[in-house]
Amino acid sequence: MFTVNLSQKNQSFFNEINIPCFLHSDDIIVAYNDDVLRLLGFNRDDEIKGRHIGEFLLPWTNSNEIKKNCIKKFIARTKTGKHIDVEVVTLPFCQENKDDFIFQSIIKDISHQRDWEERNLQAERLTAMGKLAGEIAHELNNPLGGILLYANLIKEDLKENSFASVNLDKIVKLATRCKIIAKGLLNFGKSSSTQFVSMDINQVIIEVFSFLENHLLFKDIDVKFFFDNNIPHFMGDKGGIEQVMLNLIINAGEALAGSGTLIIETLFEEEKKGITIKIKDTGFGISKEIKNRIFEPFFTTKQGTKGTGLGLSITLGIIQRHNGKIDVYSEPGKGTCFEIFLPLNH
pLDDT per residue as tens digits for the range 3-33: 456 666 666 667 677 788 888 887 888 888 8
Q: Is the pLDDT of residue 229 over 70?
A: yes
pLDDT of amino acid 97: 65
Both 206 and 341 in one domain: the answer is: yes
Q: Is the pLDDT of residue 91 over 70?
A: yes
Whether residue 212 is contained in a domain is answered as yes
- Neighbouring CB atoms inside 10 A of 175's CB total 17
Whether residue 159 is contained in a domain is answered as yes
Beta bridge partners of 101: 95
pLDDT of amino acid 125: 64
**CATH code at 12?**
3.30.450.20
Q: Is the pLDDT of residue 289 over 90?
A: no
pLDDT of amino acid 1: 38
User: Is residue 226 very low, low, confident or very high in pLDDT (cuts 50, 70, 90)?
Assistant: very high
Question: What CA dihedral angle connects 250, 255, 258 and 261, to 10 degrees?
Answer: -90
Both 223 and 327 in one domain: the answer is: yes
Comparing 315 with 47, the larger pLDDT belongs to 315
User: Is residue 224 very low, low, confident or very high in pLDDT (cuts 50, 70, 90)?
Assistant: very high
**CATH code at 346?**
3.30.565.10
User: Is residue 225 very low, low, confident or very high in pLDDT (cuts 50, 70, 90)?
Assistant: very high
pLDDT of amino acid 277: 97
Domain of residue 119: give its range.
111-190
pLDDT of amino acid 2: 45
297 within 8 A of 271, measured Cβ to Cβ? no
Both 266 and 316 in one domain: the answer is: yes
Express each pLDDT in 252-288 by its tens digit.
988 888 889 999 999 999 889 999 999 999 988 888 7
* Average predicted confidence (pLDDT) for the chain: 80
- Neighbouring CB atoms inside 10 A of 256's CB total 23
Express each pLDDT in 155-169 by its tens digit.
888 877 777 887 888
Q: Is the pLDDT of residue 109 over 50?
A: yes
Q: Is the pLDDT of residue 298 over 70?
A: no
The upper half-sphere exposure of residue 263, i.e. CA atoms within 13 Å in the direction of its Cβ, equals 13
User: Is residue 339 very low, low, confident or very high in pLDDT (cuts 50, 70, 90)?
Assistant: very high
Both 63 and 51 in one domain: the answer is: yes
Nearest Cα residue to 283 out of 255, 261, 264: 255
To 5 degrees, how large is the angle CA 321–CA 323–CA 326?
Answer: 95
Whether residue 1 is contained in a domain is answered as no
pLDDT of amino acid 305: 41
Both 176 and 231 in one domain: the answer is: no
pLDDT of amino acid 64: 61
Cα separation of 79 and 101, whole Å?
A: 28
Domain final residue pick, 164, 190, 216:
190
Both 345 and 201 in one domain: the answer is: yes
Both 61 and 125 in one domain: the answer is: no
Whether residue 339 is contained in a domain is answered as yes
**CATH code at 174?**
1.10.287
pLDDT of amino acid 179: 76
Whether residue 2 is contained in a domain is answered as no
Both 228 and 164 in one domain: the answer is: no
Longest dimension (CA), the chain: 103
With 0-12 CB in 10 A as exposed, 13-18 as middle and 19+ as buried, what is 140? Answer: middle
pLDDT of amino acid 191: 47
The upper half-sphere exposure of residue 215, i.e. CA atoms within 13 Å in the direction of its Cβ, equals 22
Q: Is the pLDDT of residue 209 over 50?
A: yes
Q: How many domains does the chain have?
A: 3
Express each pLDDT in 169-196 by its tens digit.
888 878 877 877 776 666 554 544 457 8
Both 213 and 157 in one domain: the answer is: no
Comparing 7 with 332, the larger pLDDT belongs to 332
339 within 8 A of 229, measured Cβ to Cβ? no
Q: Is the pLDDT of residue 147 over 80?
A: yes
Whether residue 131 is contained in a domain is answered as yes
Domain final residue pick, 57, 78, 109:
109
Whether residue 128 is contained in a domain is answered as yes
Both 238 and 168 in one domain: the answer is: no
Domain final residue pick, 190, 207, 227:
190
Express each pLDDT in 38-48 by its tens digit.
888 888 767 78
Express each pLDDT in 69-87 by its tens digit.
567 788 888 888 888 888 8
